[in-house]
A and B are shown apart, each in its own frame.
Chain A
Amino acid sequence: MPEATRHTLVPWCDPGPDEVGRPRARGGDGPVHELSLCRSIHDIVDRARDGRRVLTVNLQVGQLRQVVPDTLTHCWGLVTAEGPLAGSRLVVDHVPVVLDCRECGARTTAGQALVLTCTSCGSGAVDLRSGEELLVTSLDLVKEP
């Protein structure tokens, strides 16, 4: 896309500077999607909290969702900055990709490379047991008197 077009994406899709102020590298070829995820999470949490104050939002995120944890946390800060969820914290339960092999029967866990083959026999005939999760599991709230 043209440079001028790309610029307009920055406020929404830039993961923000790193600890020493350098622009953080984008993973892959496109803008990150953690921000739109955070907006969806925000809406779910805001409904579920029913007016109560939220301390922690607990998520399950499968490895296949390609979510960068630091970026998600950064975006959560942006999305909640001015609203009733300001100061709340995301806690991510990372769920690895677990594969059941239809050839050799082994249950294996995919590595960082995310190659969806049996690490025991190399077969691509695998069933995905976990790794596609993306849900708000629970909220920790300030208890009402």
Chain B
Amino acid sequence: MGRFHRHDDGTVHAHEHEDGPHAEHGPGRELGDLTAYETGTERVVVLERIFDENDRAAADNRAALDRAGVRAVNLMSSPGAGKTTLLVRTLQHLRDTGVRAGVVEGDIETSLDADRLAGLGAQVSLLNTGAGFGGECHLDAPMVARALTRLDLTTLDVLLVENVGNLVCPAEFDVGAHRRVMVASITEGEDKPLKYPVMFRSVELVLVNKIDLLPHLDVDLDLLRRNVRQVNPAAELLEVSARTGEGLDRWHDWLDTLVTG
């Protein structure tokens, strides 16, 4: 950053003779384009990360959850991977073990998912991301902050944030949860970790769902495991069927450890 200099008023300028093309980056850029330095224009250095504002709001959410002693999980997946089915099972488990659960439900336009969660003893705060938020394809921290105001955090132990089904955007937006978990169903193909490395790299736990369908599919589970490890060697992998309940005890253990730890 030696080519920038900072004035007393805090403005930082880059000067033409100092701002050559970045040698270490590839071609196809226009940063070396000097047309901006014609008379009448000036370059102001900003250097602000595009997610900074969201990340600040996420930190506020996390602090609010910490003050109330609530542990939060951001649950992500592609559409149809089984998040809501998993959530139904999970809420039953939490209710049966006396853990007080809340849910932030990111549904694009409907209350269909929230309806499936009714009567399971959890406080549910629905975010219709299609209405009022401009058709978002993910939850961001300010949205979740609004959802939190509709929950009584002091009466909760754990908060499950069901993100919008999408393997791209939700990975980039920290919502203020303590843990990120994704559901990857085996019907999606073994190559998904390689195609969506940002998502797979962002999570601590991958729940490989729909293993009850293994006998009916050509899926190579070992290849899927290897592909997950390739992009995220640290991620934990649990193979489950949210439909039959197979393997869910280990997911429940994971969640119980989060809540009690």
Chain A positions near chain B (C-beta within 8 angstroms): 1-2, 4-5, 8-9, 11-13, 28-33, 36-37, 39-41, 43-45, 48-49, 55-56, 58, 64-66, 91-96, 113-117, 124-125, 134-143
**Which DSSP category, helix, strand, loop or mixed, fits chain A's interface?**
mixed
Residues from chain B with a CB closer than 8 A to the CB of A13 are 135, 137
Compute how far the CA of A45 lies from the CA of B46 in the bound complex, rounded to whole angstroms: 8
> Count the B residues whose beta carbon is within 8 Å of the partner chain — how many?
53
Q: Which residue of A lies closest to B169 (CB)?
A: A33
Stretch at the interface among B88-96, B117-125, B228-236, B241-249: B228-236
**With A55-B41, A139-B46: A115-B230 Cβ-Cβ less than 8 Å:** yes
Q: Does B7 contact A (CB under 8 A)?
A: no
Residues from chain A with a CB closer than 8 A to the CB of B45 are 137-138
Residues from chain A with a CB closer than 8 A to the CB of B172 are 33, 65, 134
Expressed in whole angstroms, the minimum distance between the Cβ of A4 and any Cβ of chain B is 8
Q: Does B216 contact A (CB under 8 A)?
A: no
- Other than the known A44-B53, A143-B40, what 13 A-B pairs have Cβ atoms closer than 8 Å? A8-B135, A28-B195, A29-B167, A30-B166, A30-B169, A32-B168, A40-B54, A66-B168, A94-B26, A96-B26, A113-B194, A124-B233, A134-B50
Q: Does B44 contact A (CB under 8 A)?
A: yes
The answer, among A58, A91, A134, for a CB contact under 8 Å with B51, is A134
Expressed in whole angstroms, the minimum distance between the Cβ of A79 and any Cβ of chain B is 11
User: Is there an interface contact between A8 and B109, defined as CB atoms closer than 8 Å?
Assistant: yes
Q: Does B49 contact A (CB under 8 A)?
A: yes
Expressed in whole angstroms, the minimum distance between the Cβ of B76 and any Cβ of chain A is 11
Residues from chain B with a CB closer than 8 A to the CB of A29 are 78-79, 166-167
Compute how far the CA of A95 lies from the CA of B26 in the bound complex, rounded to whole angstroms: 7
**Which DSSP category, helix, strand, loop or mixed, fits chain B's interface?**
loop
Q: Does B197 contact A (CB under 8 A)?
A: yes
Expressed in whole angstroms, the minimum distance between the Cβ of B42 and any Cβ of chain A is 5
Compute how far the CA of A92 lies from the CA of B26 in the bound complex, rounded to whole angstroms: 12
Compute how far the CA of A92 lies from the CA of B33 in the bound complex, rounded to whole angstroms: 12
Expressed in whole angstroms, the minimum distance between the Cβ of A45 and any Cβ of chain B is 8
User: Is there an interface contact between B167 and A30, defined as CB atoms closer than 8 Å?
Assistant: yes
Expressed in whole angstroms, the minimum distance between the Cβ of B139 and any Cβ of chain A is 11
Expressed in whole angstroms, the minimum distance between the Cβ of B162 and any Cβ of chain A is 14
User: Is there an interface contact between B130 and A93, defined as CB atoms closer than 8 Å?
Assistant: no
User: Is there an interface contact between B168 and A8, defined as CB atoms closer than 8 Å?
Assistant: no
Q: Does B259 contact A (CB under 8 A)?
A: no
Q: Does B23 contact A (CB under 8 A)?
A: no
Residues from chain B with a CB closer than 8 A to the CB of A9 are 108, 130, 135, 137
Residues from chain B with a CB closer than 8 A to the CB of A114 are 194-195, 197
Residues from chain A with a CB closer than 8 A to the CB of B51 are 40, 134
Expressed in whole angstroms, the minimum distance between the Cβ of B7 and any Cβ of chain A is 14
Compute how far the CA of A31 lies from the CA of B108 in the bound complex, rounded to whole angstroms: 12
Expressed in whole angstroms, the minimum distance between the Cβ of B83 and any Cβ of chain A is 12
Compute how far the CA of A138 lies from the CA of B168 in the bound complex, rounded to whole angstroms: 26
The answer, among B50, B110, B194, B233, for a CB contact under 8 Å with A37, is B50
Expressed in whole angstroms, the minimum distance between the Cβ of B220 and any Cβ of chain A is 17
